[in-house]
């Protein structure tokens, strides 16, 4: 038997639900027909073949087609128990919504060394531009994720562990804006792939001009994302935020107080760390 990893993005992932057709006690079989996916090598899983969703992707549960009959016949009397997230894991994501809400200007006023207001905080921004159009990815060591150095023979080697097993990863810099100001954000591979809804290795094209952004990166501009941020000890260097997670939202999340829209000093530099937050 073979296992195939399939990744769905956006609404396709949010709408994927088997609650009304699956009985966890009986363990009934569910056959899923998925169309419109793109095959690729999963660089994070030793190059194994995987499928990733696209805007044209669609899926159908228990289709009445000839190709599905071997599965129905084989598992007719065999219970199939599907591994699903634990309730406490699902609940932990919902709990993040109760974070204190802050604007960019309000975050700039927080003293990162003040233990009375340690964070994390919730902030909603609209991406207005991507600032590193020519360097939105880097070649990294597959094992330790450190940036690999290019060799004379055009291969890459990790300076830490000397490994030549490398994979491209995101290092995305963008400007986020709310009603109180702008700030620069940095999104690393895991976070950027969730925002862009594509893995980095699927977008890296050595033949493409370096100053032209791939379409999936352009698509996040003018989109609104919810961030969960936490100030760090390095937060006195500039109006920039180091991002660990961002989730896209369809509706406004933060009610902006008119008093908070006043101009604030840019003298304080902010580095923030974000944690998981569900889509509002």
Q: What is the pLDDT of residues 85-97, one digit of tens each?
A: 665 444 444 344 4
Q: What average pLDDT does range 239-255 have in this prediction?
A: 52
For residue 212, the model assigns a pLDDT of 84
Q: Quick check: 125 and 222 in contact, CB under 8 A?
A: no
Q: Is the pLDDT of residue 280 over 50?
A: no
pLDDT of 234 higher than 70: no
- For residues 47 and 268, which has the higher predicted lDDT (pLDDT)? 47
pLDDT of res. 69: 92
Mean pLDDT of 105-111: 82
Percent of the chain with pLDDT over 70: 75
So what's the pLDDT on residue 279? 37
- Rounded to 5 degrees, what are φ and ψ at 7? -115, 125
What's residue 90's pLDDT? 44
**128 pLDDT above the threshold of 90:** yes
Per-residue pLDDT at 178: 93
Give the pLDDT mean for 140-168: 88
| pLDDT at res. 223 | 92
Question: Which segment of 16-20, 210-214, 216-220 scores lowest on mean pLDDT?
Answer: 210-214
User: Looking at residue 221, what is its pLDDT?
Assistant: 94
How much is the CA Rg of the chain, to the nearest whole Å? 22
Query: For the domain 91-274, what is the CATH superfamily, name and number?
Result: Nucleic acid-binding proteins (2.40.50.140)
> What is the mean predicted confidence (pLDDT) over 200-214?
84
Longest CA span, the chain: 69
Instruction: Provide the pLDDT for residue 88.
Output: 45
The rounded mean pLDDT for the chain is 76
Q: Check pLDDT > 50 for residue 53.
A: yes
- As a whole number, mean pLDDT of residues 181-192 equals 85
The DSSP bridge partners found for residue 34 are 59
- SS3 state of residue 257: coil
* Distance between CA atoms of residues 121 and 97, nearest Å: 10
Place of tokens 């003018």: 222
Confidence of residue 233 (pLDDT cuts 50, 70, 90): low
pLDDT of the residue at 240:
63
Nearest CA to 279 out of 194, 193, 180, 178 is that of 194
The three-state secondary structure class of 230 is: strand
Q: Binning pLDDT at 50, 70 and 90, where does residue 273 land?
A: very low
- Report pLDDT for 252: 35
Confidence class for position 43, pLDDT limits 50, 70, 90: low
Number of helical H runs and strand E runs in the chain: 6, 15
Asked if residue 87 lies in contact with residue 78, where contact means CB atoms within 8 angstroms, the answer is no
Residues of the chain with CATH 2.40.50.140: 91-274
Q: What is the pTM of this model?
A: 0.59
| Closest residue by Cα to residue 162 from 180, 179, 144, 183 | 144
Would you call 185 helix, strand, or coil by DSSP?
strand
């Amino acid at each position: 038997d073979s296992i195939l990893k399939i990744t769905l993005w956006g609404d396709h992932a949010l709408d994927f639900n088997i609650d009304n057709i699956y009985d966890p006690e009986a363990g009934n079989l569910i056959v899923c027909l998925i169309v419109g996916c793109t095959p690729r090598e999963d660089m994070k899983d030793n190059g194994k073949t995987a499928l990733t969703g696209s805007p044209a992707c669609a899926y159908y549960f228990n289709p009445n087609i000839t190709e599905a009959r071997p599965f129905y016949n084989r598992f007719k009397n065999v219970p199939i128990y599907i591994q699903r997230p634990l309730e406490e894991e699902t609940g932990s994501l919902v709990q993040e919504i109760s974070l204190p809400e802050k604007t960019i200007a309000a975050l700039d006023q927080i003293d990162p060394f003040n233990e009375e207001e340690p964070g994390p905080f919730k902030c909603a921004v609209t991406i207005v531009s991507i600032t590193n159009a020519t360097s939105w990815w880097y070649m990294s060591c597959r094992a330790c994720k450190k940036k690999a150095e290019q060799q004379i023979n055009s291969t890459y080697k990790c300076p830490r562990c000397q490994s030549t097993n490398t994979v491209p990863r995101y290092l995305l810099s963008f400007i986020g804006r709310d009603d109180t100001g702008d700030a620069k954000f940095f999104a690393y591979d895991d976070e950027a792939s969730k925002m862009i809804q594509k893995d980095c290795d699927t977008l890296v094209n050595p033949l493409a001009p370096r100053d032209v952004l791939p379409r999936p990166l352009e698509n996040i501009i003018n989109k609104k994302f919810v961030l969960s941020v936490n100030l760090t000890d390095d937060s006195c260097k500039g109006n920039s935020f180091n991002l660990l997670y961002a989730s896209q939202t369809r509706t406004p999340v933060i009610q902006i107080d008119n008093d908070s829209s006043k101009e604030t000093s840019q003298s304080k530099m902010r580095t923030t760390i974000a944690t998981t937050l569900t889509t509002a």
